[in-house]
Homo-oligomer: A and B are copies of this chain.
């Protein structure tokens, strides 16, 4: 009936001051060890648990952070959420999760609503315009993941180098025409990957065709498979694993063999070895990115915003079963590609490890 016991009740029960009880939890070294023990015993017995709201009000520290993602159902995000939550928990922070449903307005509203209630916000793959992001970053403690706006605190999963490796590898396998199948157009990662493909395809004299599986879903990619297959490319690099998987589904349905007729490389390594054949992809360390962002939020509790920084984690190419030599029936290979980069740099075989 009396509900949960409070510090004041505990204090009354023990005949001591509330401040003493408080200190028994927050600064035990200020107290006589026996007093601490006494309080702890009583607290245990009474089932006392501190009220976070009161604490937050008094200290100004919320004990929580917010995490905003575009679509929790996309397999890229759960591992990120998990890592963030685990690490936050280690730091004594709880995490609020919110899903923007890929909607920029919703995202904006969520940021405004949550920011004042937490010690900081992590916004992943923001769909907001750069100007707005800069504005937000100016007055709120927010760390962005996979969104590169100058003077904000951002941690980026950079796949540029890995894409270069991928193209080098494809080139060595004799591929000359490759496709890039993009995902959500507003996505920073999509733009970054697309231009990486464009840039490095030039150095290997590869011809690249662009496609876009717009909403970035399995079904959208699957529907695109026929056009891709018909375009005459012999290899495709997809924005992410689910698009790669969708394409494979489409190819299988159309009877085109992967990797014999078409090589495919995904990105993000969200599917591990669950495709058949196992998907060659670019593994990224989402866990590290999440932890870095959480750490940033917990670091300068005082300041009203985060100082600009650009933290990069590089992805690595992992070769599995969906990449192979170009089909011998194609035009025979006459000129050897000029390799100005070690082909196996940053390449890893088998399952990517997450540190």
- Cα A78 to Cα B76 in complex, Å, equals 11
Pick from B56, B72, B98, B248: contact of A53, CB below 8 A: B56
Chain A 98-123 interface mask (CB, 8 Å, partner B; 1/0): 11010000000000111011000000
For the complex, is A57 an interface residue (Cβ under 8 Å from B)?
yes
- Chain A interface: which size bin? 35 or more
Can you list 28 residue pairs at the A/B interface with Cβ under 8 Å?
A49-B112, A49-B116, A52-B116, A53-B56, A53-B57, A53-B62, A54-B57, A64-B96, A67-B97, A71-B82, A72-B78, A72-B81, A73-B78, A73-B79, A75-B75, A85-B98, A86-B101, A94-B96, A94-B98, A94-B114, A94-B117, A95-B97, A96-B97, A97-B97, A218-B272, A218-B273, A219-B273, A249-B273
A-B pairs, 4 with minimum CB distance: A53-B56, A97-B97, A53-B53, A52-B117
Chain B contacts for A114, CB-based, 8 A? 94
* Residues in chain B near residue A81, CB distance under 8 A: 72, 97, 99
Residues of chain B within 8 A of A71, CB atoms compared:
82
Judge if A252 is at the interface, Cβ distance under 8 Å. yes
Q: Does A130 contact B (CB under 8 A)?
A: no
> Does A8 have its Cβ within 8 Å of any Cβ on chain B?
no
* Across-interface contacts of A186 in B (CB, < 8 A): none
A64 neighbours in B (Cβ, 8 Å): 96
Chain B residues in 8 Å Cβ range of A329: none
